Amino acid sequence: MMDAFAGLPVELISLAEFGNLPDAVEDGQTFAENALLKARFYAQQTGCACLADDSGLEVDALDGAPGVYSARFAGTAAAAAANNKKLCRELEALGCQESRGRYRCVLAFVDEAGQELLSQGSCEGVVRTQAAGSEGFGYDPYFFVPELGCTMAQLKLEQKNKISHRGAALQAMSAELAGYLK
């Protein structure tokens, strides 16, 4: 985020600097709804403009699942390994070893007056049932990027940031904020 907004006249402050804040309830049905819920909640909690994201994996063979439930696909307290195991089981139950899919990210900005901006980004790929790589986190070992011939977990952070859904959403939000700040 620091790099994406370096050219803007803003100061970024982590929520951690505000002390022990309660968790926002993420009960939206879309990434945009959840990102806005979080941005509105933390803008109200802090009295400052807030930027929040919601992101996840959409798998075509699973009708877009896990989607907004990506972090809790195998249950609310599930770790990445359990989510990945469930993802593979569901694909295999359909007779699939792979499926088209995408990482999607929506960023929401809410200022102190309640003005809202949204941006989004996605990264298309193939979700496979065989893991490869040890970089990254979450579903990265199963998310193959055909143009690069490797999974997200086989990319260095700098490469990943250039092609990722979050990187694309940050670039779009930077442009939105530049217009907003004029």
Query: Strand pairing partners for 128?
Result: 98
Residue 58's pLDDT band, with cuts at 50, 70 and 90, is very high
Domain range for 147 = 32-181
For residue 7, pLDDT over 90 is answered with no
Residue 92's pLDDT band, with cuts at 50, 70 and 90, is very high
**Would you say residue 4 lies in a domain?**
no
**Would you say residue 45 lies in a domain?**
yes
So what's the pLDDT on residue 13? Answer: 92
| Cα–Cα dist 33/75, whole Å | 21
**Would you say residue 124 lies in a domain?**
yes
CATH of the domain at 125: 3.90.950.10
Q: State how many domains the chain has.
A: 1
**Would you say residue 8 lies in a domain?**
no
For residue 136, pLDDT over 90 is answered with no
Mean pLDDT of the chain: 95
pTM of the model: 0.92
Residue 128's pLDDT band, with cuts at 50, 70 and 90, is very high
- Catalytically annotated residue among 3, 23, 53, 54: 54
140 is catalytic: no
Write the DSSP string, the chain. Answer: -TTTTTTSS-----GGGG-SPPPPP---SSHHHHHHHHHHHHHHHHSS-EEEEEEEEEEGGGTT-BGGGGGGTT-TT--HHHHHHHHHHHHHHTT-SEEEEEEEEEEEEE-TT--EEEEEEEEEEEEESS---SSS-TTGGGEEETTTTEEGGGS-HHHHHHHSHHHHHHHHHHHHHHHHH-
Handedness of CA 66, 72, 74, 79 (dihedral sign): positive
